[in-house]
Structure 1
Amino acid sequence: MTATQINPASALPTTGEFRLEVIAIPVSDVDRAKQFYGSLGWREDVDFKIRPDFRVVHMTPPGSPASVLFGKGVTNAEPGSVSALTLAVDDVDAARAELVSRGIDVSEVFHGASGFDLAGQDAREPGRDPENQSYSSWASFSDPDGNGWLLQEIKTRLPGR
C-alpha cells in the first residue's frame, strides 16, 4: 500500500469522534513562551494560575482547531525536547514570510527529505519541491526553548484526509 492509498477496511469502528485538541509542550519560562507564541499571531485561549506550582496556558494558531498547552507543572518532559510539531499551511513561502516579518528565525524553504526525517537518510534540498507536490515543501523554526516546529505546505490533501 502506498502513502496515497487508504484502506477503509482498516478503520476501526467507533461510537464517536476522537479529536486531537491539545498538545502539551515543555517550556522553561511560561511568560517567555506566552510572549513568543503571541508574537506568532496565536490566540491566547486561557492562562489559568491555579496554584504557585501549577499554571496552564493554551495558545491556538490561526485557523487551527487544536492548541498547544504549556505552563508550570503540566509535563515532565525537558524544555525544548519536542520536535516535528507540524503546522499545515496553504503556501509555505507566504507562511514563512509572515513569521519572518514577525521577527521569527525561520529556515529557508526546503524539499527532499521529509521534515520528519531525523535520521537524515535523504538530504534536504534548498527551495520548494520542483514538482510543487503537496506535503513536499517545508520550513522550520524553534521556540525559545528549542521545541521544533515545521511548516508543511499542503495544497491538496490525500484521500480520506
Structure 2
Amino acid sequence: MDMKLEVVVLPVADVDRSKNFYKALGWREDADFAPGDGFRVVQLTPPGSGCSVIFGTGITSAAPGSMQGLYLIVDDIEAARSELVDRGADVGEVFHDEGGVWHHAGTKGRLPGPAPERQSYGSFASFSDPDGNGWMLQEITTRLPGRL
C-alpha cells in the first residue's frame, strides 16, 4: 500500500503573518478557510512539492515555533539560498558536516561551504519562519537507489 506524506501542520502565533511570509517565498496558496468559531485553516505548498503545510487557528496544540527539522530538497543549494534571501528569508550560509554523512544537531560539526565535490545529500542551509519553525535546505543531485 502506498502512503504519501502530503501535509505537515505548523504551529504559528499569527496566521496572517505566517501566510504572508510563506507567500513571499513563492509558495502557492491552496486554501484559506475560516468557517467560524475561531477556527481557520491555511494551506500553502512550496514550488514543486507534493507536500503542503497547514497552519491556522484551532488546529494544533503545539507551541508556535516548535516544529524543527523541516526539509526542502533542492538541486542547487546556492541558487535556492539566493532566491529565498531575495524573497526576504534570513537563510544561513551553506554548510556541510565534518562527518560528511548527515549534519549534527544544532550547529556542532558544521563546516562552511557546500560538501566536497558537491556530494549529493551533503550540503545544507537553514532558516526559520517568523515563529521559529526550523527549515533546512538540502542539496540532492543524485538520489540513493530506490528513491524518486
Residue 126 of structure 1: aligned partner: 112
Whole-angstrom CA distance in 2 between matches of 1:26 and 1:134: 31
Query: Between Structure 1 and Structure 2, how many residues are aligned?
Result: 144
Whole-angstrom CA distance in 1 between matches of 2:106 and 2:128: 19
CA deviations 1:81-132 (Å, max 9, x no partner) are 01110000000000000011112110000001534x3266x51000011131
1:7-22 equivalences under 5 Å are 16-22=1-7
Whole-angstrom CA distance in 2 between matches of 1:69 and 1:119: 25
Whole-angstrom CA distance in 2 between matches of 1:129 and 1:95: 16
Over the residues paired in the alignment, what is the CA RMSD in angstroms? 1.2
Counterpart among 20, 26, 39 of residue 54 in structure 1: 39
Deviation beyond 6 Å, 4+ runs, structure 1: none
Structure of higher CA gyration radius = 1
Point out where structure 2 has 5 or more consecutive residues left out of the alignment: none
Whole-angstrom CA distance in 2 between matches of 1:19 and 1:33: 25
TM superposition score normalised by structure 2: 0.93
* Sequence identity (%): 61
1:52 shift after superposition = 3.4
TM superposition score normalised by structure 1: 0.86
Point out where structure 1 has 5 or more consecutive residues left out of the alignment: 1-15
Whole-angstrom CA distance in 2 between matches of 1:82 and 1:130: 30
Residue 10 of structure 1: aligned partner: none
Whole-angstrom CA distance in 2 between matches of 1:151 and 1:85: 9
